[in-house]
């Protein structure tokens, strides 16, 4: 490996020209099915398929096999009156955050290092850099920066360790910034994949058996999200007989990174398209078919979890009753419905609440804010303390100033970091009561906290005027010193997310271009802490899903080189591609969170591809099993149908 | 047809060129490598980092600025070519007392952003979109705002913000 540091990018470019690299062109394989064939070029001669019996003895591009099973699918298919089968493919797509990766680092002569970088987790940045450079975690201080979009793609490091090595060598601060082309070529998109689905059902719509086989591109190294792809794809349904098998496959592509609900949109595109085919074959309304088989509280999933406090059927009910579902359609127009699931996670988070001397409040967390989480943190603390949210200033602490916090991902921050902040605010509130009791010289049990003030708990407590938070803060030095609390949690019990989307499209019979006319996204959000931000997450996920459905893909030329590493040829949705996306929030509170919050950011990207495909099926009578459903593909499919 | 078969400049350092840029109502006398784009001049030399870099190739709109009131992509304009023009950036939009421009206020009111990275470009584009009169319908707003990518997908709220400012501007006139 070589890296160049210079005082200007022009000098760096000139220096790069002077480095001579000799490449030996090896056989390559791009497609996931090709990579699995016997005789395919093997990427790593030390890679053996994990998860197979007997143990693999020859090198393979299949890094891992995973399987999930409930009941007996053969018996289930034997019971079925109707069977549908389909083979679906999706293409690699990029998170395409508008801010390219960037960092500024400095490694001091004593080894003490400072990293400023844009990431979804500065503790993650610190951990990777320490590991790669053989340093102690405490020698690295990683500072969070404002982040211009991540969507999962900024959960790994690319630049920071290289910049640190350069800084160490030069003794100077080093800045590294990716170009847009670098971002497309050398950072992780998500997997493309193939999914074979088979569903069997009785005439009344009861699904008797379901199988899915998923093959996901991992890129050049193992690690595709095929496992969550397997776990999510049938999680909306109460299935007695199901098998899901997944393969993690390496090929000559960029190593994948997480992208919003990793794995689920890929597999769910297939299973929810198949559900639509099943509804058609049964002559059933697609929502009625889903209601018939919907997962409810107590449903056991193929991956082992039994659901509690879920709101899936409520999303179906809301979809059925939404005026969108029965609005008239015009010529060349169609309507599609699809559902989706995402686990949502908890994990390690730290939150600190500081009452300042003037009565203002500072909150520090370790969670980079990629979707407005700071506002939610402030709102939760303000609620506990009974003060206006404007009095609360939330900031993100660096790795040296706040306790360990797992990265921002898995829709975990409002849940887990929110739990830490809420608990810290509760401790501060208890402390404030204690201080008031001390000032009033009464027992703490005789003090209540109401609307941001300490008040006597009853007539017996004494006739004291309410003491506002600011008054207590002013006397902190006389009552025991600074009023602060820091709480670290390993949050468990994240409530899973379910969504049902309705999509109307119109397909231009001349060009094959699909216009999304109307889009309604219904989601169980637990409890919306900041409702307009939650709506924003739902709209954003749907928008990215629509792009994935209609336009986005990594295109490779015959030499195995990426052919569209820029926004001109990799087309993300623009304003004129998007209809108004109506977000409908269903609130089934999560009892494991103090305010009932569930993660909301990821599940909205799960249903759109199938919702769009099902709408196109309605519009032109053709099932489009291969993403993206771009105009040339639609036009070809329509021409083939016309004969 | 422009000649696209040019040689990449190989000279690491070029003789600085003295130039004056008129940005947000103030003149800035600068000595820059003649290859410097307006985007780099603003960000790297004037410290005006509100104008963002998304692609450096004119495909994302994050670096949208105003030149003589019209929207331009700062990454596609050479700084030297922007002399004697009125350059407006996001930093110059608010009033001298810090009062937000109506479009900035509308973006805040409508939550027309999530990560905020594309927002300066969106707002500069939106201000020009209203001035151009391309706000007759939501479809027209969407069309004339389509040069600015927002990967967070805040388009519904961006359109709402532009619609509101356009309606208020119409009432005043």
Residue ranges of chain B assigned to CATH 1.10.150.120: 102-172
Q: Are A109 and A171 in contact (CB under 8 A)?
A: yes
Nearest to B156 among A96, A150, A580 (CB): A580
A625 touches chain B (CB under 8 A): no
**Are residues B116 and A146, on separate chains, in Cβ contact within 8 Å?**
yes
Residue B114: list chain A partners with CB under 8 A. Answer: 149, 370-372, 533, 536-537, 540
Q: Are A87 and A625 in contact (CB under 8 A)?
A: yes
Last residue of a domain, one of A449, A464, A491: A491
Global pTM? 0.96
Q: pLDDT > 90: what percent of chain A?
A: 97
pLDDT band at B2 (very low <50, low <70, confident <90, very high): very low
- Residues A531 and A555 placed together within one structural domain of the fold: yes
Question: Is residue A205 in a domain?
Answer: no
Helix (H, G, I), strand (E, B) or coil at A518: strand
Q: pLDDT > 90: what percent of chain B?
A: 88
Question: Is residue A444 in a domain?
Answer: yes
Distance from the Cα of B131 to chain A's closest Cα (Å) equals 19
Question: How many structural domains comprise chain A?
Answer: 3
Nearest to A539 among B115, B149, B153 (CB): B153
The pLDDT, as a whole number, for residue B14 is 77
- Residues A398 and A479 placed together within one structural domain of the fold: yes
Residue of B nearest to A102 (CA): B53
- Residues A388 and A525 placed together within one structural domain of the fold: no
Residue of A nearest to B113 (CA): A536
Question: Is residue A169 in a domain?
Answer: yes
Rounded to whole angstroms, the Cα distance separating A609 from A190 reads 15
CATH number at A415 reads 3.30.365.10
- Residues A465 and A387 placed together within one structural domain of the fold: yes
At the topology level of CATH, where does B102-172 sit?
Answer: DNA polymerase; domain 1 (1.10.150)
- Residues A18 and A165 placed together within one structural domain of the fold: yes
- Residue A118: strand pairing partners: none
Residue A100: list chain B partners with CB under 8 A. Answer: 53-54
Last residue of a domain, one of A427, A460, A491: A491
- Residues A566 and A581 placed together within one structural domain of the fold: yes
- Residues A466 and A611 placed together within one structural domain of the fold: no
Residue ranges of chain B assigned to CATH 3.10.20.30: 17-92
Domain with A113, as residue range(s), is 9-22+95-186
- Residues A431 and A461 placed together within one structural domain of the fold: yes
Q: State the virtual CA torsion across A274, A275, A280, A281 in degrees, nearest 10.
A: 70
pLDDT band at B12 (very low <50, low <70, confident <90, very high): low
Distance from the Cα of A371 to chain B's closest Cα (Å) equals 6
- Residues A520 and A630 placed together within one structural domain of the fold: yes
Q: Are A115 and A140 in contact (CB under 8 A)?
A: yes
Rounded to whole angstroms, the Cα distance separating A535 from A587 reads 13
- Residues A364 and A339 placed together within one structural domain of the fold: no
Last residue of a domain, one of A163, A186, A209: A186
- Residues A476 and A354 placed together within one structural domain of the fold: yes
pLDDT band at B13 (very low <50, low <70, confident <90, very high): low
**Are residues B155 and A578, on separate chains, in Cβ contact within 8 Å?**
yes
Q: Write the DSSP symbol of residue B41.
A: I
* A540-552 residue pLDDT tens: 999 999 999 999 9
Residue B54: list chain A partners with CB under 8 A. Answer: 98-100, 180, 567
Question: Is residue A217 in a domain?
Answer: no
Can you tell me the ipTM of this complex?
0.95
Tell me the pairing of strands A102-107 and A333-342.
unpaired
Mutating which of A148, A566, A575 best tests the B interface, going by the most B Cβ atoms within 10 A? A575
* A74-94 residue pLDDT tens: 999 999 999 999 999 999 999
pLDDT band at A643 (very low <50, low <70, confident <90, very high): confident
Residue B118: list chain A partners with CB under 8 A. Answer: 98, 148
Question: Is residue A3 in a domain?
Answer: no
**Are residues B57 and A574, on separate chains, in Cβ contact within 8 Å?**
no
Domain B17-92 bears CATH identifier 3.10.20.30: yes
Residue A590: name the closest of A310, A294, A351 by CA: A310
- Residues A364 and A395 placed together within one structural domain of the fold: yes
């Amino acid at each position: 490996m070589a890296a160049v540091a210079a005082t200007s990018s022009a000098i760096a470019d000139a220096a790069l020209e002077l480095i001579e690299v000799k490449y030996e062109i090896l056989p390559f394989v791009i497609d996931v099915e090709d990579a699995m064939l016997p005789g395919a070029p093997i990427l790593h001669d030390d890679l053996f398929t994990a998860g197979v019996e007997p143990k693999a003895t020859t090198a393979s591009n299949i890094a891992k096999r995973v399987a999930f099973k409930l009941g007996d699918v053969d018996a289930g298919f034997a019971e079925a009156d109707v069977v549908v089968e389909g083979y679906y493919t999706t293409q690699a797509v990029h998170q395409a955050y508008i801010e390219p990766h960037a960092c500024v680092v400095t490694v001091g002569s004593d080894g003490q290092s400072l990293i400023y970088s844009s990431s979804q987790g500065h503790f993650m940045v610190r951990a990777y850099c320490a590991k790669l450079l053989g340093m102690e975690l405490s020698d690295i201080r990683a500072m969070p920066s404002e982040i211009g979009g991540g969507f999962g793609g900024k959960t790994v490091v690319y630049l920071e360790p290289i910049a640190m090595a350069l800084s160490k060598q030069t003794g100077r601060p080093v800045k590294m910034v990716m170009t847009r082309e670098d971002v497309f070529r050398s950072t992780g998109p998500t997997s493309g994949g193939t999914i074979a689905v088979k569903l069997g059902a009785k005439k009344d719509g009861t699904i008797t058996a379901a199988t899915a086989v998923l093959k996901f591109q991992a890129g050049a190294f193992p690690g595709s999200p095929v496992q969550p792809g397997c776990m999510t794809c049938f999680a909306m349904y109460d299935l007695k007989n199901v098998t899901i098998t997944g393969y993690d496959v390496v090929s000559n592509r960029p190593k994948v990174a997480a992208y919003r609900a990793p794995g689920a949109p890929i597999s769910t595109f297939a299973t929810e398209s198949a559900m639509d085919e099943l509804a058609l074959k049964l002559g059933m309304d697609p929502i009625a078919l889903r209601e018939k088989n919907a997962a409810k509280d107590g449903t056991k999933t193929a991956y082992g979890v039994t659901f509690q406090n879920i709101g899936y059927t409520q999303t179906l009910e809301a979809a059925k009753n939404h005026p969108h579902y029965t609005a008239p359609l015009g010529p060349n127009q169609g309507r599609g419905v699809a559902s989706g699931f995402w686990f949502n996670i908890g994990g390690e988070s730290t939150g600190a609440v500081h009452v300042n001397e003037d009565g203002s409040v500072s909150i520090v967390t370790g969670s980079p804010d990629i979707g407005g989480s700071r506002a939610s943190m402030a709102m939760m603390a303000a609620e506990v303390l009974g003060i206006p949210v404007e009095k609360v200033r939330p900031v993100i602490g660096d790795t040296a100033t706040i306790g360990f916090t797992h990265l921002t991902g898995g829709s975990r921050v409002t849940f887990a970091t929110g739990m830490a902040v809420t608990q810290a605010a509760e401790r501060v509130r208890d402390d404030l009561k204690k201080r008031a009791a001390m000032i009033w010289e009464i027992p703490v049990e005789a003090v209540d906290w109401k609307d941001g003030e300490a008040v006597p708990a009853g007539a017996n407590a004494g006739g004291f005027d309410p003491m506002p938070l600011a008054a207590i803060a002013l006397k902190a030095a006389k009552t025991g010193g600074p009023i602060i609390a820091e709480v670290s949690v390993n949050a468990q019990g994240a409530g899973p997310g379910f969504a049902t989307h309705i999509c109307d499209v119109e397909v231009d019979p001349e060009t094959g271009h699909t216009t999304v006319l109307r889009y309604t996204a219904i989601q169980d959000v637990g409890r919306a802490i900041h409702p307009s931000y939650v709506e924003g997450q739902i709209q954003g996920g749907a928008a990215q899903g629509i792009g994935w459905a209609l336009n986005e893909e990594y295109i490779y030329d015959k030499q195995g080189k990426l052919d569209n590493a820029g926004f001109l040829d990799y087309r993300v949705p623009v304003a004129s591609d998007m209809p108004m996306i109506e977000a409908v929030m269903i609130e089934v509170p999560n009892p494991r969170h103090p305010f009932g919050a569930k993660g909301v950011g990821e599940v909205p990207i799960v249903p759109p591809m199938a919702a769009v495909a099902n709408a196109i099926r309605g519009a032109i009578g053709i099932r489009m099993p291969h993403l993206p459903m771009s105009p040339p593909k639609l036009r070809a499919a329509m021409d083939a149908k016309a004969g | 047809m422009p000649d696209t078969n040019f040689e990449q400049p190989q000279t690491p350092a070029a003789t600085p060129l003295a130039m004056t840029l008129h940005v947000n109502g103030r003149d800035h006398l600068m000595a820059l490598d003649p290859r410097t784009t307006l985007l780099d001049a603003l960000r790297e030399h004037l410290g005006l980092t509100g104008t963002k870099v998304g692609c450096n190739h004119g495909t994302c709109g994050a670096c949208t600025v105003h030149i003589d009131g019209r929207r331009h992509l700062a990454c596609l304009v050479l700084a030297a070519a922007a002399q004697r023009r009125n350059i407006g950036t996001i930093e110059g939009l608010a009033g001298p007392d810090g009062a937000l421009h109506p479009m900035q206020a509308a973006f805040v009111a409508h939550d027309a952003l999530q990560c905020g990275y594309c927002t300066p470009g969106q707002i500069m584009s939106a201000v020009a979109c209203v001035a151009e009169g391309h706000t007759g319908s939501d479809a027209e707003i969407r069309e004339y705002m389509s040069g600015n990518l927002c990967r967070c997908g805040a388009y519904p709220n961006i359109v709402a913000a532009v619609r509101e400012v356009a309606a208020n501007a119409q009432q005043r006139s």
